[in-house]
Structure 1
Amino acid sequence: MRLLSLLLIASLAIPVYALVTAPLSLFWQTFTAIGMVITANLLIRLKDYRWALAMMGLSTIASTRYLYWRLTQTLPIGPEFNAWDLFLSLGLVGAEIYAYVILILGFVQTIWPLHRKPAPLPDDPSQWPTVDIYIPTYNEPLAVVRPTVLAALAMDWPRDKFRVYVLDDGRRDEFRQFCETVGVTHVTRTDNKHAKAGNINAALKKTGGEYIAIFDCDHIPVRSFLQMTMGSMLQDKTVSLVQTPHHFFSPDPFEKNLATFRKVPNEGELFYGLIQDGNDFWDASFFCGSCAVLRREALEQIGGIATETVTEDAHTSLRMHTRGWKSAYINIPQAAGLATESLSAHVGQRIRWARGMAQIFRVNNPMVMPGLKFGQRICYSNAMLHFFYGLPRLIFLTSPLAYLLLGAEIIKAQGWMVLAYAAPHVMLATTTNSRLQGPFRHSFWAEIYETVLATFILVPTLLAVINPKLGKFNVTAKGGIVDRDYFDKDIARPYYLLFSLNLIGFTVGIIRLLIGGPHADTLMLNIGWTVYNLIIAGGALAVANEKRQVRSAVRVRTKLQAAIRSHADSGAYMTETLDVSYSGVALRLPEAVDLKQGDSLQILLMPERNDVWLDAKVMRAGRGLVAAKLNEMSIPQESALVQALFGRADAWIQWREHQKPDRPLRALFEVGRYGIRGGRDFFAWVVKAIWQRGTRTAPTKAA
């Protein structure tokens, strides 16, 4: 098979090389570009995944041809050499090479998603192993941690074969008292050395389970978690890690501020929905710090959780892989947590991730680290290189300004020729990624995600490469509120600078076009590029316009069977929920039930599996609906609510089915709409700021 593969590659190499390097006139390059685009749009309609592989190949050829042409025919070198033009040109080419490398590595990484199924457990539960469940916490409020602990206690696993540990680095009495009340172990240490990694390593010395399940304190597991993951561990004794997705039942800042929650896949869905499945094919699934189970033997062999970087999770799995241990990924949500509430908190979290991956790249570079397989090197390298997108993204957002504002020829070619080469490269990459990533990342959204973070991760990643010891671990705040609408001008400074510069460039370009400047095709190409950059920068501005979120308990839209009664001794009526939170429930009101505001109400969620009634007070009723606020709950009542809302085995499986499929043109218009909204909000904020400043200074002038 290897010989046949080599012969196949050799037979394709010559025609592919000829296609990549062939010099063509504008007419024939345009003809070739149109043919490639048409072919890709025909292939995307074919369902068999093997056609997706063909699209990857076609996209790779188009992108390689474009890059070859850029490097050999468009650099501003020659008799009229200009050092400034060459400097700017090399910056753009460097950004394009980076994007090309990430594109190709991404194709290799996700070439064949594994879609692993859970492995069966032994029929006799007495043969199931012992598991320690760790819930690390530092400064999170008890209200965030309580449901995770109660859900962990209710897992479908022999009660004598698992123990729950709250690893409290805050050393708080209220946590100790809660743990004693519900029957879990409260673990502390005398210091906070190495943050979360040190917390887990300290607990490893105090516990003895064969396996370790780890949940961030806001990641609430479903009751089937251990049954879905442990089979893979028992089936293959060399598997050191089984990871499941990080799923979020609350909107992140993008979803909240743009109102896209459960309409557009969130930022992390691509990694957990596709990339980790692709990693699994290469035996390179990463540990993500939570919602995972690890083999104690493997952890002890590498000296515990890695402590040298702030992304201790990926670093830990990298070290296990170098020792020959395997990993597995079950792409079925088995826990759900809280997303970051504000854009500033989200940016802070991503800065830590970017810095940590850059640290690993510097300390244990997977391309040269011994013990890794080829696929593992590719997967880890792509994950780390991804976080270096800060500078390339900023270059793409400002490159057309070099021509429009400075007159620099950073691409020494006719405008129509640039379009003929660049169009198939961009369009085939977009179409192919839509085919591969569509259910998990809609087209053009990556540009907004990266633009929001680009300026913030640029310096931390650079410093981490220079000195990996710089920086410290920061805990991402969860469970807070946003008490008002406001424009986060501090976070938005880079965005409105980029927006303003591109707006100036667009204006200058239009003026130059109207007065009949030379090279109209090049001018129009750069104006079009600037319009796109305005849309992306405007989208970033729209995300910075924070929306009010005053509910500390997130309402989850879910239909559950329920029963209600107005008194403990009265008859019960069957109904269903519309949404449920930790503080209230909205239900359909049966016609036979007459309720009004202020009435007492008792609610039984999932009556076929539960007999614990929740006490509540009616907040409003009518038109077939009733909204009730839950009274203070006992531990059994709280546990019943957690199991009904978060602990069901199928609690999160259906969420992906509600999202629309990706359509690149529709996604472009959608992103454009948010870009326009962001620009409008920016101008409104500027006018308001000028007005307020004028109002403050007016009395002084009058005096």
Structure 2
Amino acid sequence: MGVKQLTLVRVLAVLVVAFGIVYIGWRWTASVPWSAWFIAVPLLLAETYSFGESLLYALTMWNSKRRPTAPIAPEGRTVDVFIATYNEPLAMVMTTAIAARDMTYPHETWILDDGDRPEFRRAAELLGIGYITRGPEWEGRQRFAKAGNVNNALFATSGEFIAIFDADQVPQPRFLNRVLGYFVDDEIAFVQTPQQFWNVDSRDPLGSHADLFYGPIQQGKDGWGAAFFCGSNAILRREALMALGLTRFARAAQGRMRSALRAGRSRLTDLLSELAVRDPAGMPAVEDALAAMGHADAQYRTGDVLSEITWQLRTSFHQAVLSHDDVSAAVISELDAVLELVEVARTDQALAIQPLDTSTITEDMATAMHLHAMGWSSAYHHEVLVHGLAPEDAGTMLTQRKRWAAGSMQVFFSDNPLFMRGLTLGQRLMYFGTMTSYLNGFAALVYIAAPIVFLTLGIYPLKASALTFLLYFVPFFACCQIFFQVAGRRSRGLWRGQQMSFALFPTWIGATVSGFAATFFGKHLAFSVTSKTKNQVGTDYRAVAPQLVVMGLLLIASAIGIYRCAIGDAPVAATVLTLVWVVIDFLLLGVVIGAARYRGPGSDITDPNPPTEELTSALAIVEHETSFPRTPAAER
């Protein structure tokens, strides 16, 4: 944004914070009916949370950064372009692959086929595109979805930079030329560009347009040195990714070594006690091994190389056995088992080093956060250079949003940015703000429940007159709305974004619970690939059933409230104010009806990337060979 707009945004941000402090201060000190604590306290907490989110948004916009044009892409850099796919249609993936192959800057293009499909391999061969799938080392081991797919490809390629595209994200020929120039700064780890969707009509009933995020919000985060990596339409520096993988491996190995040394000493101590009764001849060897464990522990504490510690420990155990001729096979087996505990190399995974974060299903955000914590920088390039596909039905949209939210909350609970070493204060708050936004589901539930409780039971959650409440609330609310509009100027879908943030409260609550369970109870979070084809035909109200039930309850409560007011059992001013509240809830929740009825883009929207003659020919050959398998050369 320009200087004038940024100045206005900062003035409005100050007003939002000032009016917010006045309003929340009044709410906490003078307006809580403690006799109705069961609804008054949750409402107060929800409003405090909303103020906190407004404050974080104001902070994000305060430092909004519109970067100048990137430097000219340097010549001679090597780039690997990855197109990640699992179950997407062949034609879609190859359309993206051809566009990626034809980007003007010299590079290598690779299809990362996690479905290991022969027809994809053959089509890639015909189109002159590289093909990578997982090898036998992955069999029987955790695959880590997209993160594992990309990590596998990183060890099969060697380019200095990695461009990543989802299977439906078709890049323009100039993509690399426009973005590579940022990497003349050796501290830049990745550059993110916007995600834009061509199959969304002007109504955008599913809230697919993310112009606010891929614009003011990303520019704000960029101003604080925290532009996000979003999984696609980005370029990353291989050196940064590999450094991150090595660092995480070393930290994990240190943690395993610390636990293993403790467990090993305990196991040997127990063994020594047992041998005193059943096999005293084996005790000297175990005592020597226990002494070696003590020495290894001392080495670990002084920071010796872990591989050196394990090598010396293995040598000491071997000498302990050789020094005593009468050591039984059972004792030797126990000593071998202890040695296995302290082996630092990972044997339970296909790759010892995982450059992209594999601890969450939102590997993009987690990877970016750890890169920033290591001291790497990032950049957001505000230019649409890629066009992709958005979900075309409510069910698919909700599945996609829940995956994003659940993964973010998993990171929130396991790697909370507020406590992560290496991040600046601004970076901590930028990540924290994104993660806590999904807690809005609980706040929305309270904003729905409070008017229902008053209209049906007559329990008012405020200890103040309607006029007093409005005097405190309206300035804060009005400033928030004005600030939101000014900060997001030229961004489409501002109102739709507010609706979705509120109306998807069941999704946000479910995702938060899933993230909590994954972190503290080890529950598995499945990586759900977003379907690129419509899953439902016609209206599908089942996907939004909770919202429809809530809307029904609001209608019933409104009728009861009007009746109670008419017979004099409820104050008129409070009832009117609550009914206005209900109307706002309906305006926000009503988006789900349009989402459930959505049937995809109309005929006026055409595919900007129709199949080329080259693609059509390749697909025909693949289809023919699939129907009539080629005869092996040895049989001809």
Structure 2 equivalent of residue 375 of structure 1: 426
Say which of 18, 39, 61 aligns to 2:18: 61
2: CA distance, partners of 1:213 / 1:335: 12
**What is the distance in 1 between the residues matched to 2:602 and 2:577?**
46
- Offset of residue 231 of structure 1: 0.5
Equivalent residue runs for 1:75-114 within 5 Å: 75-77=32-34, 82=35, 85-114=36-65
The aligned counterpart of 1:663 is none
Shift of 1:443: 5.0
1:479 aligns with 2:532: yes
Residues 444, 397 of structure 1: alpha-carbon distance in 2 compared, 3 angstrom cutoff: farther
Give unmatched runs, 5+ long, in structure 2. Answer: 246-354, 622-636
Distance 1:520 1:554, change over 3 A: closer
- For 1:208-237, what per-residue CA distance to the aligned partner results, in whole angstroms no more than 9, with x for missing partners? 101111111110111111111111112x10
Equivalent-residue separation in structure 2 for 1:140 and 1:543 (angstroms): 23
SS at match of 1:506: helix
Structure 1 residue 269: Cα displacement: 1.8
Contact 1:284 1:327 in 2 (8 A): yes
CA contact (8 A) 2:6 2:64 kept: no
Give the secondary structure class of the aligned counterpart of 1:317.
helix
Please give the alpha-carbon distance, in whole angstroms, between the structure 1 residues aligned to 2:530 and 2:518.
27
Q: Secondary structure at the match of 1:140?
A: coil
Match of 1:520 in 2: 572
The structure with the largest helix share of the pair is: 2
Q: Which residue of 2 aligns with 1:456?
A: 507
2:112 pairs with 1:167: yes
1:209 aligned partner, one-letter code:
G
Amino acid at match of 2:51: Y
Q: Residues 149-170 of structure 1, C-alpha deviation per residue, up to 9 Å, x if partnerless?
A: 0011111113xxx111111010
Distance 1:180 1:331, change over 3 A: same
Question: Structure 1 CA distance, aligned partners of 2:541 and 2:183?
Answer: 49
Among candidates 6, 11, 28, match of residue 71 of structure 1: 28
Q: Which residue of 1 aligns with 2:381?
A: 330
How far residue 474 of structure 1 moved from its aligned partner, in angstroms, is 2.7
Q: Deviations over 1:534-558 (max 9, x none)?
A: 232233222212326698x9614xx
Q: Does 1:49 align with 2:37?
A: no
Task: Note if 1:176 corresponds to 2:204.
Answer: no
Match of 1:198 among 145, 148, 162: 148
Q: Deviations over 1:422-453 (max 9, x none)?
A: 11111110011111113225554334202332
SS in 1 for 2:360: coil
In structure 2, what is the equivalent of residue 582 of structure 1?
A: 610
Q: Deviations over 1:93-143 (max 9, x none)?
A: 111111111110111112132111332236xx6x33100101111111111
**Aligned-partner SS, 2:418:** coil
Mapped partners of 1:423, 1:516: distance in 2: 27
CA distance in 1, matches of 2:68, 2:376: 19
Query: 1:289-328 maps to which residues of 2 (within 5 A)?
Result: 289-303=231-245, 304-328=355-379
Give the corresponding residue for 1:625: none
- Cα pair 1:430 1:443 within 8 Å, conserved: no
What residue in structure 2 maps to residue 38 of structure 1? none
Paired residue type of 1:67: I
User: Which of the residues 197, 212, 223 maps onto 1:248?
Assistant: 197
Instruction: Please report how far the alpha carbon of residue 50 of structure 1 lies from its aligned counterpart in structure 2 after TM superposition.
Output: 0.9
Residue 71 (structure 2) aligns with: 120
Q: Deviations over 1:12-43 (max 9, x none)?
A: xxxxxxxxxxxxxxxxxxxxxxxxxxxxxxxx
**Letter paired with 1:528:** V
Larger radius of gyration: 2
Which consecutive residues of structure 1, in runs of 5 or more, have no partner in the other structure?
1-45, 557-579, 584-613, 616-630, 639-703
Q: 5 Å matches for 1:677-688?
A: none
How far 1:497 sits from its partner (Å)? Answer: 0.9
* Matched letter for residue 237 of structure 2: R
1:470 offset after TM fit, Å? 2.4
Among candidates 416, 423, 438, match of residue 365 of structure 1: 416
Alignment of 1:203-242 (within 5 A): 203-234=153-184, 236-242=185-191
Contact 2:225 2:427 (C-alpha < 8 Å) held by counterparts: yes
Alpha-carbon deviation of 1:358? 0.6
Residue type at the aligned position of 2:425: F
Task: Select 2:89's aligned residue among 123, 138, 141.
Answer: 141
Matched residues in 1 for 2:231 and 2:584: separation?
37
Q: Deviations over 1:288-341 (max 9, x none)?
A: 001000011100011100000000000001111011000011010111110012
Q: Give the aligned partner of residue 499 of structure 1.
A: 551
- CA separation of 1:446/1:481 partners in 2, compared to 1, >3 Å: closer, same or farther? closer
Distance 1:232 1:548, change over 3 A: closer
Distance 1:326 1:549, change over 3 A: closer
Q: Distance in 1 between matches of 2:206 and 2:68?
A: 26
Q: CA deviation at 1:636?
A: 12
AA of the residue aligned to 2:154:
L
Letter in 2 for 1:97: T
The secondary structure found in structure 1 opposite 2:62 is coil
Identity of aligned residues (%): 32
Contact 1:505–1:530, Cα closer than 8 Å, also in 2: no
Count of residues paired in the alignment: 503
Structure 2 counterpart of 1:193, one-letter code: R
Name the stretch that deviates more: 330-339 or 464-473: 464-473
- The CA RMSD measured in Å over matched residues stands at 2.5
Q: Partners in 2 of 1:310 and 1:481 — Cα distance?
A: 23
Task: Give 1:634 shift.
Answer: 3.5
- Describe the shift of the 1:375–1:441 C-alpha distance in structure 2 as closer, same or farther (beyond 3 A): farther
8 Å contact 1:482–1:547 — kept in the other structure?
no
Q: Is the 8 A contact 2:164 2:234 kept in 1?
A: yes
Provide the rounded CA distance (Å) in 2 between the counterparts of 1:581 and 1:228: 21
Task: Quote the residue 2:222 is aligned against.
Answer: 280
TM-superposed deviation, 1:466 = 4.2
Structure 2 equivalent of residue 260 of structure 1: 203
Task: Please give the alpha-carbon distance, in whole angstroms, between the structure 2 residues aligned to 1:515 and 1:530.
Answer: 21
Q: Given that residues 495 and 541 in structure 1 are in contact (C-alpha distance below 8 angstroms), is that contact kept between their aligned partners in structure 2? A: no
CA distance in 1, matches of 2:478, 2:536: 42
The answer to which structure has the higher strand fraction is: 1
Do the aligned residues in 1 keep the contact of 2:105 with 2:177 (CA within 8 Å)? yes
Shift of 1:457: 2.4
Deviation string for 1:502-547 (max 9, x for gaps)? 1012111222232234422111111111122223223322221232
**In 1, distance between residues paired with 2:5 and 2:602?**
47
Cα distance 1:55–1:504, how it changes in 2: closer, same or farther (>3 A)?
A: same
Matched with 1:150 is 98
Q: Indicate if the aligned counterparts of 1:219 and 1:337 stay in contact, CA closer than 8 A.
A: yes
State the one-letter code of the partner of 2:117. Answer: R
Distance 1:431 1:264 in 2: 24
CA distance 1:129–1:459, change in 2 (3 Å): same
| Matched-pair contact (CA < 8 Å) for 1:393–1:454 | yes
Q: For the structure 1 residues 380 and 513, does the alpha-carbon distance in structure 2 shift closer, same or farther, using more than 3 Å as the test? A: same
Aligned equivalent of 1:572: none
Distance, in Å, in 1 between the alignment partners of 2:169 and 2:240 is 24
8 Å Cα contact 2:224/2:426 also seen in 1: yes
Contact 2:392-2:533 within 8 A present in 1 as well: yes
Q: Does 1:439 align with 2:390?
A: no
Match of 2:590 in 1: 538
Secondary structure in structure 1 of the residue aligned to 2:504: helix
